[in-house]
Amino acid sequence: MELHGNILKMKTIFGNPVEYRLPIGTQELAMSSLIGSYIRLEWNNSINCVKCGRPTLKSFSQGYCYNCFKSAPETAPCILNPELCDAHLGIARDMNWAKDNCLKEHFVYLAISSNLKVGVTRASQIPTRWIDQGAWAAIKLASAPNRYTAGVIEVELKKYFSDKTNWQQMLKNNRPEIDLITEKQRASQLLPLPLQQYLTSDDTIIEIEYPVLYFPQKVKSIDLEKNPIIEAKLTGIKGQYLMFDTDQVINVRKYSGYFMKVSF
């Protein structure tokens, strides 16, 4: 069977394990059901902007043409650095978008993927954000009324905690022994008093399992620009990565907007 069309990042359904679906053209492919099977992915050398749909020779910020990259609210500087958000001041690339995405409750959290990290996400993106990062456990730390305030909290905590994930270690399923409750207490004490008002008493630890037959010992990332055809057995999915029996992996989200042909 074969599907073709422009792909987007995989959709996820939280379960035990997580269920993955790949948007491709006007359809969705149940990727979790293909684990253990041989599949073929082929890029036909064309890309369409995920925002305006126009052809683009190069993808910016995971699927945008240059014009949209420079103007779309989804690619504003505060997406990567929440403390730069000005929506609470009435300033944004698109205030209607900002009202729905920036001026909403945001959580600062601690998660374990390859290591302990601090991060920010909209309340509506839990646990999707953690799944996309390949975290296997996470806990809410603080609840903020908007993206900017959450970013200010994160900046303070980045003095003591990493905000990055080592994706190779994450895909090898390295699981360091970390007590999230203890780390939350430590983080809470490290925050300046004015920011401690946003701390949450919710100590629920969310654990996430992924559909994986086995994890690679070595991780080799596939670059579609250099290798437009992939033929291998799908052995697992974690984060937004497909893993194959060749120890190769591909970050699906990176290739949003690419026109792909998937055979299975």
Instruction: Cite the beta strand spans of 7-98 per DSSP E.
Output: 11-13, 19-24, 27-30, 38-47
Would 83 be classed as within a structural domain?
no
* Average pLDDT rounded to a whole number, residues 152-164: 97
**148 with 63, same domain?**
no
**pLDDT tens-place string over residues 100-144:** 999 999 999 999 999 999 999 999 999 999 999 999 999 999 999
Q: Which residue(s) pair with 6 in the sheet?
A: 259
Q: What span, in angstroms and rounded, lies between the C-alpha atoms of 120 and 125?
A: 10
Q: What span, in angstroms and rounded, lies between the C-alpha atoms of 193 and 63?
A: 40
Phi, psi angles (nearest 5°) of residue 93? -65, -35
**108 with 200, same domain?**
yes
Q: Give the tokens for residue 98.
A: 């900002």
**pLDDT tens-place string over residues 171-190:** 999 889 999 999 999 999 99
Would 85 be classed as within a structural domain?
no
**192 with 240, same domain?**
no
* Average pLDDT rounded to a whole number, residues 243-264: 97
**186 with 146, same domain?**
yes
Under 8 Å CB-to-CB from 83, ≥6 apart: which residues? 148, 151, 152, 154, 155
Q: What span, in angstroms and rounded, lies between the C-alpha atoms of 118 and 137?
A: 12
Q: Is the pTM of this model over 0.85?
A: yes
**203 with 230, same domain?**
no
The pLDDT of residue 6: 98
∠ CA 235-241-247, rounded to 5°: 45
**202 with 248, same domain?**
no
Q: Give the tokens for residue 142.
A: 């603080």
**162 with 225, same domain?**
no
**29 with 47, same domain?**
yes
The pLDDT of residue 7: 98
* Average pLDDT rounded to a whole number, residues 3-21: 98
Q: Given 207, 224, 251, which residue is the final one in a domain?
A: 207
The pLDDT of residue 190: 98
Domain coverage including residue 155 = 103-207
The pLDDT of residue 224: 95
Helix (H) or strand (E) holding 226: none
Nearest one of 30, 72, 20 to 50, comparing CA atoms: 72
* Average pLDDT rounded to a whole number, residues 201-211: 98
Say how many domains are in the chain.
Answer: 2
The pLDDT of residue 92: 98
pLDDT bracket for residue 236 (50, 70, 90): very high
The pLDDT of residue 68: 98
Q: What is the mean pLDDT of the chain?
A: 97
* Average pLDDT rounded to a whole number, residues 191-217: 97
Q: How many CB atoms lie within 10 A of CB 4?
A: 15
Nearest one of 107, 114, 113 to 204, comparing CA atoms: 107
